[in-house]
Amino acid sequence: MSHVFYRDMNVTYPKISHGKGIYLWSTDGKRYIDAASGALVANLGHGREDLARTLYEQAQRVTFAHTLRFTTAAQEEFATRVNDALGAPGWYTYPVSGGSEATETVVKLARQIHLERGEPERYRVLSRRASYHGNTLGALAASGLAERQRPYYPLLSEAFVQVDPPKAACPGISEHGTCACLSPFEQAVQQFGAETVAAIMVEPVGGASRSGFVPHTGYLPGLRRLCDQHGIILILDEVMTGFGRTGRMMGYEHDRVTPDLITVAKGLSGGYAPLGAVIASQPVYDIIRTGTGRFAHGLTYSGNPLSTAVGAKVLEILTQENVVANAATQGARLVAGLETLSTQYSWVRAIRGHGLMRGVLLEPRAGLAQQLVSRAWDAGIILYLGHGEAEGGDGEHFLIAPPLIIAPDEVDDLLARLHDIFAIVDRELS
């Protein structure tokens, strides 16, 4: 009898034996194509010896040195590589252990920046419905998912406010020449008073709650302008989109905006160690550096040598093996195949996303996405089930997001298998 406190006690979980590239095997011999990279984590694929070696070598040197007292070569190299990957204007990395920790950290950092600037009345954090920023209490309060928030409402701070997300079909350009989808944020800033708003936080491309949704051109630049106009900090949650997933190093590069603060996790370590980070741009970093010079925050495992050594190695591999370019090329191959597939079934509404972060939007028929994801699972293909339709999303959806190292013949094989799965579901529907 197991003593594991499972996420769902009604499920018998297959036991994973090992992984290699885009594949996972369970101990009963079943092979899975990991077309979700776990949860957009295993970006460099499974079972890499170079990353195993990085962990071994770092473990031989040192596995823990408290960041209260020390820095390490691993942490230094990791931060330098993040800075090099992002380029101008200069970036400073605060490592943590995952996406939710990054969200908690970034909110405190945004608040402290305003305190340092002498604006203590700024505390509100605006985000969107149909969004996900994590599961800890602050991150959950920032996530626009009423179904997940509801049991914890008494514990969630009202400092977090969610506004309507952009529409799939943009209603047009506003009088300010920006995307009209921005008006929910504009109205919230007006309603609460800009002087109380600390930050606006969004995912550049829809993730768990809006599989691959790409906002209208002008939306993110418009948000940037809105933040600049009112002294609000722009936080981009790149936990899913960051470091190559969208076919560019960062998701925001598609929109040519520069955020003030960025949260990253998941693919940052490729799943080889728990790692997340808050990345601060030079100007906001300077506010603290020239102020108190100290971020009033700390977590025991921040900057952990094993995790940051892995992060540094992942960033090295991304560049050396042209992984980001492969994500763009194979993403184009995948989307071409998915477009062909989608035209055969009236219940598929759209294929969306960038690079190897592709969302399939289905008609709003309850349980349809789950049905597809389950049939795929039976056939040994792991897809990422979306949620959030009830929050102003646009229908049932799921993500296809294989490791960024996927080869062209593996994309073709995945597409052929998806063809079979869609045909099975279509027969079940008729």
Ligand X SMILES: Cc1ncc(COP(=O)(O)O)c(C=O)c1O
Q: Is 405 in the site for ligand X (CB under 6 A)?
A: no
Selected range binding ligand X among 129-137, 340-348, 408-416, 420-428, rule: CB under 6 A: 129-137
Selected range binding ligand X among 50-58, 88-96, 234-242, 305-313, rule: CB under 6 A: 234-242
Q: Is 38 in the site for ligand X (CB under 6 A)?
A: no
Q: Is 98 in the site for ligand X (CB under 6 A)?
A: yes
Nearest residue to ligand X on Cβ basis: 99
Selected range binding ligand X among 98-106, 156-164, 380-388, 392-400, rule: CB under 6 A: 98-106
Q: Which of 38, 165, 206, 207 binds ligand X (CB under 6 A)?
A: 207
Distance (Å, rounded) from C-alpha 70 to C-alpha 261?
24
Selected range binding ligand X among 67-75, 94-102, 290-298, 400-408, rule: CB under 6 A: 94-102
Minimum gap (Å) between residue 377 Cβ and ligand X: 19
Q: Which of 200, 208, 278, 318 binds ligand X (CB under 6 A)?
A: 208
Q: Is 383 in the site for ligand X (CB under 6 A)?
A: no
Minimum gap (Å) between residue 132 Cβ and ligand X: 5
Q: Is 391 in the site for ligand X (CB under 6 A)?
A: no
Q: Is 239 in the site for ligand X (CB under 6 A)?
A: yes
Q: What are the distances in angstroms from CA 228 to CA 96, 177, 258, 280, 334?
A: 28, 16, 11, 16, 37
Q: Is 132 in the site for ligand X (CB under 6 A)?
A: yes
Q: Is 201 in the site for ligand X (CB under 6 A)?
A: no
Q: Which of 75, 100, 127, 162 binds ligand X (CB under 6 A)?
A: 100
Minimum gap (Å) between residue 39 Cβ and ligand X: 6
Distance (Å, rounded) from C-alpha 425 to C-alpha 372?
7
Q: Which of 46, 48, 124, 133 binds ligand X (CB under 6 A)?
A: 133
Q: Is 19 in the site for ligand X (CB under 6 A)?
A: no
Minimum gap (Å) between residue 252 Cβ and ligand X: 13
Residues near ligand X (CB under 6 A) are 39, 98-100, 103, 132-134, 203, 207-208, 237, 239-240, 265
